[in-house]
Amino acid sequence: MIIDTVTLKDLDEIYNLERRSFKKDSFSKELILNLIIKNTCFFKLIDDESSNSIIGFIIIIQDREERVNLINFLIKKGERKRGYGSFLLRHTLKKVKTIDKIKTIVLNVNSKNKAAISLYQKFDFRIAQRIENYYRDKQSAYLMILDI
Ligand SMILES: CC(C)(COP(=O)(O)OP(=O)(O)OC[C@H]1O[C@@H](n2cnc3c(N)ncnc32)[C@H](O)[C@@H]1OP(=O)(O)O)[C@@H](O)C(=O)NCCC(=O)NCCS
């Protein structure tokens, strides 16, 4: 397993994974394109360099001087519950810790998304707030925070 930075060549594959997982709540292709161009912390998990088949990805943006926001994270269906999500998140947190001044990592997660919430809690994220009507279909979200 290899973790690498996402490039423009990955755009279609990332977008297809995104649509399959998040359906109407998925990021648009334009947004993903912009995140790649802007040199965001945008990592992919691949089998090996020769196949470049993407198993999952994670996106983190710096939205305040002292804070980053984990805005997207997924592991492909059929590859979940094998430790890949933890592997990718652990790598990303290590990178974030090397960025100057960053004190916290925040994220929003659907309050019904037990898999993700449990994974984040394993990494010591805590639920800081419940946000009603956060998603298009009016479902609520949790704001989760990790101090680093
Ligand atoms: C959330 C997600 C990225 C986790 O990836 P993963 O590769 O399955 O995670 P791991 O195999 O590393 O699991 C780590 C921990 O997460 C939790 N977890 C993962 N899947 C779970 C499930 N179906 N039910 C409950 N807990 C689960 C467990 O605590 C697990 O630890 P354990 O194996 O010791 O029980 C993956 O489920 C996913 O892509 N979901 C769809 C997209 C999504 O919801 N992204 C998060 C948006 S905020």
List the domain range (segments joined by +) for residue 55. 2-147
Confidence of residue 40 (pLDDT cuts 50, 70, 90): confident
Closest ligand 1 atom to 86 CA: 12
Q: How much is the average pLDDT of 76-90?
A: 97
Separation between Cα atoms, residue 98 and residue 92, nearest integer Å: 10
pLDDT at position 25 over 90: no
Q: How much is the average pLDDT of 41-64?
A: 92
Q: What is the total count of domains within the chain?
A: 1
Q: What is the pLDDT of residue 96?
A: 94
Q: Is the CB of 90 under 6 A from ligand 1?
A: no
Ranges of H-type helices in 1-148: 11-22, 29-37, 84-97, 114-122
pLDDT at position 46 over 80: yes
**Half-sphere exposure (CA, 13 Å, Cβ side) for 10?**
24
Which CATH number covers residue 124?
Answer: 3.40.630.30
Q: Report the separation in Å between the CA atom of 75 and the middle of ligand 1, taken as the mean of its atom positions.
A: 8
Q: Mean of the per-residue pLDDT values for the chain?
A: 95
Question: Ligand 1: which of 58, 117, 118 to mutate, most ligand atoms within 8 Å of CB?
Answer: 118
Q: Is the CB of 130 under 6 A from ligand 1?
A: no
Report the amino acid identity of residue 44.
Answer: K
Q: Is the CB of 114 under 6 A from ligand 1?
A: yes
pLDDT at position 66 over 90: yes
Q: Are 125 and 148 in contact (CB under 8 A)?
A: no
Confidence of residue 95 (pLDDT cuts 50, 70, 90): very high
